[in-house]
């Protein structure tokens, strides 16, 4: 069955969820479905890419409370067959809006993070509101997806629904294009050191990623001619630079800024490290594996242990443990790994495989 599928998001900034939705949209379209993006605000680094391939609807809403009315109008006018929504509170607004609209389409909602941790500092009122909205919204949805077992456990508990009502569908890896010689040379120039001790991490500069832990671990190993590269940007940038300066390693730190395709940096690195306190899944780990470079990750809730098969495909260390992270980095830098084994593991999360699971879930609700 070929369907009109609408994908609801806050915007198309260059974050993990937004990238994933574009990857899935391409696969859905390849399967013959008609895809539209419905955005609270039509903005973001990935907006042009989406507009080049798909119809993009701007709800022009500044606040979340404005979304239900605007979404209701969209549903009545465009009448999609399926509405896919991610990121709370949009994940609960979508099924509630469909319920109150005169258009009955199927709703698939997905969550990509551990919400109980993500919103733990937002206060009791927000916590109660989140739980109540999830209890209502998830019940009205036709299909409910979590990107890892840990996320499903978390949202099932928060919504007071049975885990069997949720499905685990891991995130897809985006299709890789082989880097050009120019992009690889650009990466080489940024490293400005010989291979052997090049460490890369990829992700937004925010507290969740705990980049300070990585900086402290890197300072502790004190390898000559080593470099630590941060691919990304965000509000924690100045704090990161300040910490690097305090540790006396600012000359060994490389900040690339936001990058649409970090593949050249993976390809020219010796090790990928994820130092997060929590994750919904951890797509960057799969991207690193796909490039055949070894991985060290905190065993944070949730996703890294599932991707690395509890340490089979990379080293896992406790969260917030500087010594453990530093030791694991040294071990991996001095270890020989089978790159083909890592790349084969990454292939299990291909966009085609993941999209097929989503389409199967959609077909089952008709």
* 18-50 confidence digits (pLDDT tens): 999 999 999 999 999 999 999 999 999 999 999
What mean pLDDT do residues 87-99 have?
96
Cα 242 to chain centroid distance, Å, stands at 26
Is 129 in contact with 105 (CB distance < 8 Å)?
no
pLDDT tens, residue by residue, 164-183:
999 999 999 988 888 999 99
| Confidence at residue 129, expressed as pLDDT on a 0 to 100 scale | 94
| Confidence at residue 102, expressed as pLDDT on a 0 to 100 scale | 84
**CA angle at residue 135 from 129 to 136, to 5 degrees?**
95
Burial of 62 per CB tally in 10 Å (0-12, 13-18, 19+)? exposed
pTM summary value: 0.91
| Confidence at residue 174, expressed as pLDDT on a 0 to 100 scale | 83
Question: For residue 153, how many C-alpha atoms fall within 13 Å in the half-sphere facing its CB?
Answer: 8
What mean pLDDT do residues 245-257 have?
96
Which two three-digit tokens encode residue 264? 């050249």
> Which of the four pLDDT bands, split at 50, 70 and 90, describes residue 14?
confident
- The dihedral region occupied by 72, where left means phi > 0, alpha psi between -120 and 50, and beta the remainder, is alpha
User: What residue has token string 């085609």?
Assistant: 352
Distance, CA of 324 to CA of 342 (rounded, Å) = 22
Q: How much of the chain, in percent, has pLDDT values that exceed 70?
A: 100
Burial of 315 per CB tally in 10 Å (0-12, 13-18, 19+)? buried
Q: How much of the chain, in percent, has pLDDT values that exceed 90?
A: 91
| Confidence at residue 49, expressed as pLDDT on a 0 to 100 scale | 95
Is 266 in contact with 343 (CB distance < 8 Å)?
no
Whether the predicted pLDDT of 365 surpasses 90: no
Whether the predicted pLDDT of 1 surpasses 80: no
**Mean pLDDT across the chain:** 95
Q: Return the higher-pLDDT residue of 257 and 102.
A: 257
Cα 156 to chain centroid distance, Å, stands at 20
What single DSSP character describes residue 273? E
- Rg for the chain, CA atoms, rounded: 21
Distance, CA of 250 to CA of 241 (rounded, Å) = 7
| Confidence at residue 274, expressed as pLDDT on a 0 to 100 scale | 98
255-285 CB burial, b ≥16 within 10 A, e <16: bbeebeebbbbbbbbbbbbbbbbbbbbbbbb
What mean pLDDT do residues 96-122 have?
94
What mean pLDDT do residues 79-105 have?
95
Q: How many CB atoms lie within 10 A of CB 152?
A: 22
What mean pLDDT do residues 95-117 have?
94
Q: How many CB atoms lie within 10 A of CB 109?
A: 29
């Amino acid at each position: 069955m070929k369907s009109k599928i609408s994908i609801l998001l806050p915007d198309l900034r260059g974050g993990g969820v937004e990238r994933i939705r574009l990857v899935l949209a391409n696969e859905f379209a390849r399967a013959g479905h008609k895809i539209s993006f419905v955005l609270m605000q039509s903005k973001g680094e990935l907006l042009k890419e989406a507009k080049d391939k798909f119809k993009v609807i701007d709800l022009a809403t500044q606040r979340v409370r404005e979304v239900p009315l605007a979404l209701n109008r969209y549903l009545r006018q465009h009448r999609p067959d399926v509405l896919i929504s991610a990121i709370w509170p949009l994940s609960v607004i979508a099924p509630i809006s469909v319920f109150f609209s005169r258009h009955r389409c199927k709703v698939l909602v997905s969550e990509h993070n551990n919400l109980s941790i993500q919103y733990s500092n937002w206060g009791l009122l927000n916590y109660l509101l989140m739980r109540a909205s999830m209890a209502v919204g998830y019940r009205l949805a036709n299909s409910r997806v979590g990107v890892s077992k840990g996320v499903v456990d978390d949202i099932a508990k928060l919504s007071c629904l049975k885990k069997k009502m949720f499905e685990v569908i891991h995130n897809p890896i985006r299709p890789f294009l082989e880097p050009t010689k120019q992009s690889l040379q650009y990466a080489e120039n940024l490293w400005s050191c010989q291979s052997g001790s090049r460490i890369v991490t990829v992700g937004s500069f925010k507290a969740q990623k705990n980049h300070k832990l990585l900086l402290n671990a890197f300072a502790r190993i004190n390898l000559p001619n080593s470099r630590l590269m941060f691919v990304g940007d965000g509000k924690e940038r100045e704090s990161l630079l300040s910490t690097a300066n305090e540790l006396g390693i600012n000359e060994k730190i490389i900040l690339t800024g936001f990058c649409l395709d970090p593949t050249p940096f993976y390809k020219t690195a010796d090790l990928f490290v994820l130092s997060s306190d929590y994750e919904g899944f951890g797509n960057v780990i799969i991207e690193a594996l796909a490039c055949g470079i070894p991985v060290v990750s905190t065993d944070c809730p949730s996703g890294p242990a599932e991707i690395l098969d509890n340490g089979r495909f990379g080293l896992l260390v406790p969260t917030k443990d500087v010594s453990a992270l530093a030791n694991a980095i040294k071990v991996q830098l001095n270890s020989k790994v089978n790159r083909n084994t890592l790349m084969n593991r990454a292939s299990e999360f291909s966009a085609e495989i993941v999209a097929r699971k989503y389409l199967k879930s959609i077909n089952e609700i008709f």
